[in-house]
C-alpha cells in the first residue's frame, strides 16, 4: 500500500482541484459544472506538460534526420556490431542528438496521465466527484448501467467522438509511415510489426471507454482530441518545421 501512497496523494490533489473548478463554474454551467471542470482540468494539465511534448517531437525529428546515415552505418558495419555501436554513438554525439531521443519526455508524461485516469476512472480521492452528472447521467455510471435513452445517447456521442479521433489519428499515422524518409534508424521484423501496430493503437481508447465510468470517458475524449490537435500542429511537414534549436 505504501508504494501507491504518492499516487493516491497526487490523485487526491487533482480531485481537489477539479472539485474547486466545479464549484467555481457552477454559477455559469449549472448541472454541467463537474463535467466542464473535468474538461478544463484535462486541458490545463495538457498545457502544463506541453513542453515535454515539444521536446519529444524535437527529439524524434533529430533522430529521423539522422536515419539515412544510421542505415548507411548499419550496412557498412553489419558484421561488426561493436564498431557499429561506436560509430552510431559518434554520429549522435556529433549531431547533438540521442539514439533514444523522444523517449524520456514521453516517460515523464506518463505519471500525469496515470493520475488523471485514476481520479476519473476510480474516483480515488475525488470526494464525490463521480456523483456529478452530464445530461442527467451520473459521471460514475458505466455504459451498461441503466440502458435508458439518456445513457445510450451520452455514451453514444462520446464514443462516436472517440472513434472519429481514433480514425483520424490512425489515418495520419499510416500516412506518416508511408511518407518518404519516414523510416526510423531501427529496421527489421520487430520494426515492421511495430509499424503495422501503431495505426491501430488509437482505437484502444474506444475499447477502454466501454468499461470505464462516464467521467473517464469524458477525460479520454478531451485528452485524445488534444493529442490529435498536437499531432496536427507539431508534426507538420518539414516545410513549416519548428525551430530545432
Residues 38-91 pLDDT 10s = 999 999 988 888 887 787 777 777 777 777 888 888 888 877 788 888 877 887
CA–CA gap between residue 44 and residue 67 (Å, rounded)? 35
In a domain, 184, yes or no: yes
In a domain, 163, yes or no: yes
CA–CA gap between residue 86 and residue 153 (Å, rounded)? 59
Residue 156 burial class via C-beta count within 10 angstroms: exposed 0-12, middle 13-18, buried 19 and up = exposed
Please say whether the beta carbons of 158 and 217 come within 8 A. yes
Query: Number of folded domains in the chain?
Result: 1
Please say whether the beta carbons of 59 and 97 come within 8 A. yes
> Can you give the pLDDT at residue 181?
47
> Can you give the pLDDT at residue 163?
93
Predicted TM-score of the model (pTM): 0.74
In a domain, 88, yes or no: yes
Range of the domain at 218: 2-240
In a domain, 10, yes or no: yes
In a domain, 245, yes or no: no
Q: Closest Cα to residue 133, out of 35, 17, 24, 221?
A: 35
CA–CA gap between residue 222 and residue 219 (Å, rounded)? 5
> Can you give the pLDDT at residue 114?
81
> Can you give the pLDDT at residue 106?
62
Residues of the chain scoring pLDDT < 70: 1-4, 95-109, 123-127, 176-197, 235-245
> Can you give the pLDDT at residue 76?
82
Amino acid at each position: 500500500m505504501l508504494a501507491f501512497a504518492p499516487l493516491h496523494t497526487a490523485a487526491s490533489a487533482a480531485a481537489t482541484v477539479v472539485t474547486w473548478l466545479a464549484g467555481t463554474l457552477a454559477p455559469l454551467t449549472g448541472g454541467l459544472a463537474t463535467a466542464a471542470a473535468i474538461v478544463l482540468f484535462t486541458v490545463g494539465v495538457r498545457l502544463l506538460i506541453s513542453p515535454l511534448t515539444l521536446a519529444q517531437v524535437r527529439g524524434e525529428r533529430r533522430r529521423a534526420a539522422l536515419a539515412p546515415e544510421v542505415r548507411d552505418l548499419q550496412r557498412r558495419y553489419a558484421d561488426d556490431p561493436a564498431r557499429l555501436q561506436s560509430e552510431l554513438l559518434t554520429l549522435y554525439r556529433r549531431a547533438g542528438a540521442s539514439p533514444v531521443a523522444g523517449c524520456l519526455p514521453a516517460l515523464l508524461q506518463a505519471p500525469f496521465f496515470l493520475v488523471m485516469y485514476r481520479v476519473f476512472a476510480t474516483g480515488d480521492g475525488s470526494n464525490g466527484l463521480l456523483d456529478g452528472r452530464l445530461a442527467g447521467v451520473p459521471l460514475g455510471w458505466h455504459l451498461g448501467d441503466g440502458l435508458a435513452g439518456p445513457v445510450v445517447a451520452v455514451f453514444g456521442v462520446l464514443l462516436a467522438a472517440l472513434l472519429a479521433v481514433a480514425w483520424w489519428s490512425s489515418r495520419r499515422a499510416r500516412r506518416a509511415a508511408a511518407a518518404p524518409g519516414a523510416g526510423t534508424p531501427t529496421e527489421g521484423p520487430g520494426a515492421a510489426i511495430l509499424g503495422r501496430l501503431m495505426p491501430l493503437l488509437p482505437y484502444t481508447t474506444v475499447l477502454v471507454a466501454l468499461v470505464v465510468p462516464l467521467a473517464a470517458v469524458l477525460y479520454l475524449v478531451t485528452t485524445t482530441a488534444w493529442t490529435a490537435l498536437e499531432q496536427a500542429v507539431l508534426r507538420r511537414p518539414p516545410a513549416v518545421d519548428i525551430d530545432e534549436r
